[in-house]
Each structure stands twice: as C-alpha cells, then as structure tokens.
C-alpha cells in the first residue's frame, strides 16, 4: 500500500508547507454552522490539518491587517490543498478527500491542536512554536484511516500572560479564551453598517481592514519565522488607498468597495498614504 504520510508530506513541501498533522475525525469538531458540512464524507475517519504561515515582514506603516496584504489566502490555500487531495486520490482511488479552508464546519483551532500543530492561545488563535499565530489553517477530511499525530508540539504552551486580552482595543477577549465577535475591531471594519460608537472604534483603530493587535502583542509572534509559502510574497499590498482598493485577488474583495471607502474616510486618507487619526 502507498505511504499516505509520505505522499502528503511531499505534496505539501512542493507548496512550501512544513507544518501539518493528522487527527481522528470526531463529529464533535463540527461546531461551525455552514452549508459546507454537506461535503463531510460519509464514513470520515481522519482529518489532515495544515498551517500556512503568513508573516512576510513588519511593514510598520501598513494600513491593512497582515493577512490582507497578501494575495487572497482562500485561493492560495485552496490550490495547495487541492494538490494534496489530487495526489492522495491518485494513490487511494476508492477513498474520499474533501478540502476545507475558512468556510469550514470544523473547529479549525481544535483540529490543529489535536493534530499537533500548536496550542490555543487566549486570543483564541492557534500558536505554533516556529510561526507564532500568524497562520491560516486548512483541512482535508478523508475516509482513509491515517495514524494520528501526537497532540501539542513539545516545549510550547500559551504563556497565560494575557497580553492579548489587555491590548484588545475593543475589549473583545474575555480572558477565558473566548471572543466576543461583536466587539472585535476586525469584525467592525467588515460590517456594512456601523453605529456612531462603532465608527469611533474604527476611527481610533490603525488599520482600514482587520486588526492585528492581539496577535502582534503575543510573545510567540515577536520572533515569528517568515512564511515559507512563496505564493504569499507575490504582489504584497501594505497601504490601501482609494486608488487600489479594488485590486483583484484580495481577501476583502467579497465585501465590495463601499465598506473600504467608508473605512478610508473614517481613518482619513492623505495622498498615497493613509493614517488613522
């Protein structure tokens, strides 16, 4: 029989991905309400989980969240997962392999913990010892039985410093590992309509789209390794203006230009640079 682990490792390596693992499929992991749940294979037995690091540099004057500076991660991660699935289907034609990224019915952080990719931080994100929490997560749910990885990399645990809780500009983190999305500044920058109070919060924020504060203050992110995924370095856009807000292939395209124009207005655009006041 083909060595599934070797096939997976080689396929991920071709895309620069060096953090992946396996956990048993558990219906209790299906915690997110999404129609994508219909794609979970009947008789699913294993989940292949992978982390796609996205730190590409400091960019001190950026006006976008780190993830939004890059080409749309949905496209990049989906393409890499599709390559892994294709390799597995070729070797195991009677089994099913279904990829998921972002719009997933799975508790992706818990899957990552169980698959040995990292630990859950108080900012609710997965922390990896090499790449910190600057990670996109993706999964492949399969009917193929795969040996599970050892949960939790050695030598790493959330430090419990709660720097993320204290720094959150919206007070969205409760200190118990839970996030109140309605108070999250990243969420507010994506809403179509804002109250006067929410507009003030966006105005006080320093990014036109998203928020990185809880991640940036995490001790594990102070020396996070650069992303090994070459696709994330293509056409980086760090500063958003009214002239480039409709750039193709970006994570914000789904929302349309009106929300971004509002955020630029709230933060104040000055020529080619934008700085929140």
**Residues taking part in catalysis:** 102
* CA–CA distance, 218 with 235 (Å, rounded to integer): 27
Roughly how many angstroms between the first and final C-alpha of the chain, as a whole number? 62
Residues 6 or more apart in contact with residue 170 via CB below 8 angstroms: 183, 184, 185, 188, 201
| 8 Å CB contact between 251 and 68 | yes
How far does CA 4 lie from the centroid of its chain? 26
Neighbours of 276 (CB within 10 A): 16
Which residue bears the tokens 């980086």?
236
Coil vs helix vs strand at 269: strand
């Amino acid at each position: 029989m083909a060595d599934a682990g070797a096939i997976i490792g080689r396929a991920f390596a071709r895309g620069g991905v060096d953090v992946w693992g396996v956990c048993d499929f558990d219906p209790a992991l299906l915690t997110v309400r999404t129609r994508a749940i219909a794609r979970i294979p009947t008789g699913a037995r294993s989940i292949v989980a992978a982390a796609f690091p996205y730190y590409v540099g400091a960019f001190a004057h950026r006006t976008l969240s780190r993830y939004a500076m890059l080409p749309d991660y949905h496209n990049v991660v989906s393409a890499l997962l599709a390559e892994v699935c294709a390799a597995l289907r070729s070797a195991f034609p009677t089994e099913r392999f279904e990829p998921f990224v972002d719009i997933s019915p799975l508790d992706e952080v818990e899957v990552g913990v169980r698959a040995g990719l990292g630990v859950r931080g108080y900012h609710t994100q997965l922390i990896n010892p090499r790449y910190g929490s600057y990670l996109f997560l993706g999964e492949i749910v399969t009917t193929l039985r795969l040996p599970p990885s050892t949960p939790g990399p050695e030598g790493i645990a959330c430090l419990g410093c709660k720097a993320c809780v204290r720094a959150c500009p919206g007070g969205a983190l409760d200190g118990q590992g839970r996030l109140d999305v309605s108070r999250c500044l990243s969420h507010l920058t994506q809403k179509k309509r804002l109250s006067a109070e929410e507009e003030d919060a966006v105005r006080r924020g320093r990014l036109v789209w998203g928020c990185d504060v809880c991640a940036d203050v995490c001790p594990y992110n102070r020396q996070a390794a650069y992303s090994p995924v070459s696709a994330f370095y293509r056409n980086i856009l760090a500063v958003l203006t009214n002239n480039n807000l409709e750039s193709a292939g970006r994570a914000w395209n789904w929302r349309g230009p009106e929300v971004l124009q509002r955020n630029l207005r709230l933060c104040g655009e000055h020529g080619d640079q934008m700085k929140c006041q």
